[in-house]
Amino acid sequence: MQEQRDLDAHVHDNDELSALIDRIAARIGGKRVVVHLPQDTHIPERAVLAAPAQHHLAAAMQAEWPARTESEPPLRPLRLFDRPEPIKVPFATVPDGAPHQFTWRRALHAVVRVEGPERIAMEWWREGKQLTRDYFRVEDAEGLRFWIFRDGLYDSELMDEEGKPVPANWYVHGLFA
């Protein structure tokens, strides 16, 4: 069905996009075609909501994302993993330091540059005990850049029932481009 356009050309800019989303959703399913909407939280894995594009295209077009500072490297990686992947850290500078090397996916990475820590406390109103995270932007000797974090602090958060310190767990949460 053909429709006459208004004099304001910007009102119907996304008509073609809506039609394309409808065609793709009819073929592969409406839940598979998504748009990303920003969420008001500081927790990295909850900062974006994937919503069906057929119902939320207008909201996605008007969504305001945090602006990046020009001439500054990004604070968050372009690619976050669905679940952070564990890494093996033989030792780190305690209490707030980054590891000097780590093993991820059976490859040893020697850290040559570090930025951080960026401390992110979990949302207290959510159920279950969640540890505070210290995030670091690290670069290895080959130039790969990772976003890693230590799950928990080296004080009371990492004590077992007997009061003995428990080693912190380290994870890779994303990769920088």
**Residue 91 forms part of a structural domain:** yes
Q: What is the mean pLDDT of the chain?
A: 84
The verdict on 55 and 88 lying in the same domain is no
HSE, CB side, 13 Å, CA atoms: give it for residue 7.
Answer: 0
Report the pLDDT value the prediction gives residue 85, as an integer from 0 to 100.
Answer: 96
**What's the alpha-carbon Rg for the chain, to the nearest Å?**
22
Taking the chain, what is the end-to-end CA distance rounded to the nearest angstrom? 43
The verdict on 92 and 134 lying in the same domain is yes
Highest averaged pLDDT of the listed ranges 10-14, 18-22, 63-67, 130-134: 18-22
The verdict on 151 and 97 lying in the same domain is yes
**Residue 69 forms part of a structural domain:** no
Number of domains in the chain: 2
Q: 139: which strand partners?
A: 113, 145
Give the mean pLDDT of 115-124: 86
The verdict on 46 and 85 lying in the same domain is no
pTM, to two decimals: 0.73
The verdict on 31 and 117 lying in the same domain is no
The verdict on 86 and 26 lying in the same domain is no
**Whole-angstrom distance, CA of residue 152 vs CA of residue 149:** 9
The verdict on 103 and 58 lying in the same domain is no
**Residue 171 forms part of a structural domain:** yes
The verdict on 155 and 128 lying in the same domain is yes
Question: Of residues 14 and 151, which shows the higher confidence score?
Answer: 151
The verdict on 161 and 93 lying in the same domain is yes
The verdict on 130 and 43 lying in the same domain is no
What is the span of the domain harbouring residue 117? 79-175
Asked if residue 34 has pLDDT above 80, the reply is yes
**Whole-angstrom distance, CA of residue 76 vs CA of residue 106:** 25
The verdict on 46 and 103 lying in the same domain is no
**Residue 73 forms part of a structural domain:** no
- Condensed to tens digits (0 to 9), the pLDDT of residues 40-97 reads 887 888 788 889 998 888 888 888 887 878 877 778 887 789 899 999 998 767 667 8
The verdict on 170 and 105 lying in the same domain is yes
